[in-house]
Amino acid sequence: MSGLSLKNVSKHFGMLEVIHDLSLDIADGEFAVFLGPSGCGKSTLLRMVAGLEPLSGGEIHIGGKRIDALAPGDRGVAMVFQHYALYPHMTVRQNVAFGLRNIGTKSDEIARKIAAAAGTLEIAHLLDRKPAQLSGGQRQRVAIARAIVKQPDIFLFDEPLSNLDAALRSRTRIELARLHHRLRATMVFVTHDQVEAMTMATRIVVMNQGRIEQVGAPMEIYLQPATRFVASFIGSPAMNFLAATPTGDANGRIMVRLADGTTVATAIPAAALPASGPFTLGVRAEHVLPGAGSPARVDVVERLGERTLVHALANDGSTIVYDEPGDVAPAIGDHIQLTIDPAHVHLFDAAGRAYHADRIA
Ligand SMILES: Nc1ncnc2c1ncn2[C@@H]1O[C@H](COP(=O)(O)OP(=O)(O)OP(=O)(O)O)[C@@H](O)[C@H]1O
Ligand SMILES: [Mg+2]
């Protein structure tokens, strides 16, 4: 049992409040990804779990045992840092062995563990090199190997892939997912990269300014973002946001008018919404359908290979992005017509809270 429990954890540096009364339970064996913009407190939170930063308030429990007053080495965690933190004067083998020697592990057992980890991470041929003789991706794998041999209850990863090139990053993502499946260990991974979060997490924790915005499975967060912040942070291209004015309801579903005069009969229950206030309609590119509907003009075309993103200007000058198959691309300046799929729109109130269509079971 090695679940992680954060109970009312807070952190301030002097007057600066960085983590605000944060509580969360991560179950044994989960791959939890903390996702949020730079400066939102991800590393601080991870460092508090690892014992590298004292808490200002609250408690941290691992496997039901309170650990926030224990020394880092007694917490059963292993952390992989963004910048690897390998000892430059030691070989890869010595780097990986270092933590084990410190706790008095026998030489033959160290050798066995290193061989196993080196096999998993394909670094067996690098064991006698120094870190300076490795590429960034190889150093990264050494840092992960060093964590694996400790057999921690919980792995803590602080943006470990951000220094890798795109191809290696996606390969390492797959390796980590495989590793998690094989070890069945609890993993906590922080990143500002939504693709890493979507692809690896069993649960995503979206953070903003030291607070949790939403916790959920990747597709839950994608399909039912709890706030406008979450909606704007997840999904590429970013969700379209358009000012919307309620005009009444049809069969209990809210109808709104957009700034260009288009009326959208949404699938969102009218009763769920606040009585008044400015609303913003949110719709993803794949739910804006070209062919018929309101007039718009093509402004920018981005060809991505498998699909084409088209940035169009509505009559009122607002931008709306939709997608086409990769082999379709209108020309800049083309006059087109667009329809927003009413079943897939979200509404956000003035405070950024989201309202969705009823979930289809
Ligand atoms: N030792 C420190 N002293 C004062 N302020 C700090 C300290 N460490 C972090 N901070 C501040 O705390 C906030 C959170 O920092 P943190 O490093 O946790 O962010 P992060 O989410 O990991 O960001 P990034 O994605 O850029 O790594 C930031 O505003 C940062 O400036
Ligand atoms: Mg950080």
* For ligand 1, atom 26: residue with the closest CA: 38
- Indicate whether residue 39 lines ligand 1 (CB < 6 A): yes
Strand order in the sheet with 240-250: 263-269, 253-258, 240-250, 279-283, 346-348, 354-355
Ligand 1 mean position to 262 CA, how many Å?
Answer: 44
Residues 198 and 61 reside in one and the same domain: yes
Q: Is 314 left (phi over 0), alpha (psi -120 to 50) or beta?
A: beta
User: What per-residue confidence (pLDDT) applies to 143?
Assistant: 92
Residues 117 and 194 reside in one and the same domain: yes
The ligand 1 atom nearest the CA atom of 14: 4
Ligand 1 mean position to 12 CA, how many Å?
Answer: 10
User: What per-residue confidence (pLDDT) applies to 361?
Assistant: 39
Query: Which among 180, 201, 226 is the end of a domain?
Result: 226
Residues 108 and 221 reside in one and the same domain: yes
The ligand 1 atom nearest the CA atom of 207: 21
Q: Which ligand is nearest to the CA of 44?
A: 1
CATH of the domain at 161: 3.40.50.300
- Indicate whether residue 87 lines ligand 1 (CB < 6 A): no
Ligand 1 mean position to 298 CA, how many Å?
Answer: 41
Q: Is 338 left (phi over 0), alpha (psi -120 to 50) or beta?
A: beta
- Indicate whether residue 160 lines ligand 1 (CB < 6 A): no
The ligand 1 atom nearest the CA atom of 45: 18
Domain membership of residue 329 (yes or no) is yes
* For ligand 1, atom 19: residue with the closest CA: 39
For residue 237, the one-letter residue type is P
Strand order in the sheet with 335-340: 319-325, 307-314, 288-303, 335-340
Do residues 230 and 264 touch, judged by C-beta distance below 8 A? Answer: no
> Distance (Å, rounded) from C-alpha 124 to C-alpha 259?
61
Residues 199 and 260 reside in one and the same domain: no
- Indicate whether residue 136 lines ligand 1 (CB < 6 A): no
* For ligand 1, atom 17: residue with the closest CA: 43
Do residues 62 and 25 touch, judged by C-beta distance below 8 A? Answer: no
* For ligand 1, atom 8: residue with the closest CA: 44
User: What per-residue confidence (pLDDT) applies to 110?
Assistant: 92
Query: How many domains does the chain divide into?
Result: 2
Domain membership of residue 232 (yes or no) is no
- Indicate whether residue 192 lines ligand 1 (CB < 6 A): yes
Residue 325 has phi, psi (to 5 degrees) of -60, 160
Residues 48 and 170 reside in one and the same domain: yes
The one-digit pLDDT tens for each residue of the chain (361 residues) are 689 999 999 999 999 999 999 999 999 999 999 999 999 999 999 999 999 999 999 999 999 999 999 999 899 999 998 777 899 999 999 999 998 888 888 999 999 999 998 988 888 999 999 999 998 888 888 999 999 898 899 999 999 888 777 887 888 888 889 889 988 899 999 999 999 999 999 999 999 999 999 999 999 999 999 999 999 999 889 999 999 999 999 889 999 999 999 999 999 999 888 887 789 999 999 999 999 999 999 999 999 999 999 999 999 999 999 999 999 989 999 999 999 999 999 999 999 999 998 764 3
- Indicate whether residue 191 lines ligand 1 (CB < 6 A): no
Ligand 1 mean position to 9 CA, how many Å?
Answer: 16
Residues 37 and 114 reside in one and the same domain: yes
Ligand 1 mean position to 233 CA, how many Å?
Answer: 19
Do residues 312 and 296 touch, judged by C-beta distance below 8 A? Answer: yes
Query: Which among 171, 197, 226 is the end of a domain?
Result: 226
Residues 78 and 184 reside in one and the same domain: yes
Q: What residues make up the domain containing 336?
A: 240-355
